[in-house]
Homo-oligomer: A and B are copies of this chain.
């Protein structure tokens, strides 16, 4: 599958590019600046020669033309970047991974963007695309360290079950990762905000925490929502 990453030169985007390349996808590292995309690609291939055939550098429109598109820009550019490439994104699975956070004093604090979440804002900017929120809690450094698995659950939410399934299949290919269907795009609000708590834990415990949920034995990504359970 050909996956494009808008804003693929930042820490999260380039880490995801490396990881997706390592599991055999052809990844276009997109950027507003082609030279920066070329530089990021060169740096990744310099670290991991095996990525040579899997990573391309491109401008954002080239990335937006791929089968699946990830928006990995800073959170405050996500929806405008999506809107700029709306024609190319129409009907496609678009992955939103940014978190709207600010640092206030020593703490990360979540902001609530228009539409309740970055992902919701992207969906509103391009109503015809199929937004899926994912990868928010995966530490970028571990994501980019392609030699090692990442033991984490990846919460995936969105309004289009087929799109969630596409992203779940990709996540399932990453060693150690388990995709979990976390409901509709409404849940992106709490998922994005919770990243601030994980960052806070990272600061305090000098680590990079990742999420695992106990009690979920199998992971039927498209299981029916049938009955309520209470925590």
Determine, out of A32-40, A61-69, A134-142, the stretch whose residues face the partner at the interface.
A134-142
* CB-based nearest B residue for A187: B197
Out of B11, B199, B225, B229, which one reaches A208, CB within 8 Å?
B229
Nearest CB in chain B to that of A137: its residue = B231
| Chain B binder among A17-25, A82-90, A177-185 | A177-185
Residue from the list B181, B201, B226 in contact with A216, Cβ < 8 A: B201
Q: Are A214 and B205 in contact (CB under 8 A)?
A: no
B201:A180 contact, CB within 8 angstroms? yes
Contact B216 A205 (CB under 8 A): yes
- The segment from A42-50, A51-59, A104-112, A165-173 that touches chain B is A104-112
B-contacting residues, A172-206, CB 8 Å: 180-184, 186-187, 189-191, 193-206
Q: Which of A132-157 contact B (CB under 8 A)?
A: 137-140, 142, 151-152, 155, 157
A110 and B180 in contact, given A229-B207, A231-B195 (Cβ under 8 angstroms): no
Given A187-B197, A199-B231: 15 more A-B contacts, CB < 8 Å: A11-B230, A103-B228, A110-B190, A138-B231, A151-B214, A181-B201, A182-B201, A183-B201, A199-B230, A204-B225, A205-B216, A206-B223, A208-B229, A210-B215, A211-B212
Q: Which 10 residue pairs spanning A and B have beta carbons closest together?
A: A202-B229, A190-B193, A183-B200, A209-B213, A194-B194, A212-B212, A209-B215, A207-B215, A210-B214, A139-B231
Chain A positions near chain B (C-beta within 8 angstroms): 11, 99, 103, 106-107, 109-110, 137-140, 142, 151-152, 155, 157, 180-184, 186-187, 189-191, 193-220, 223, 225-231
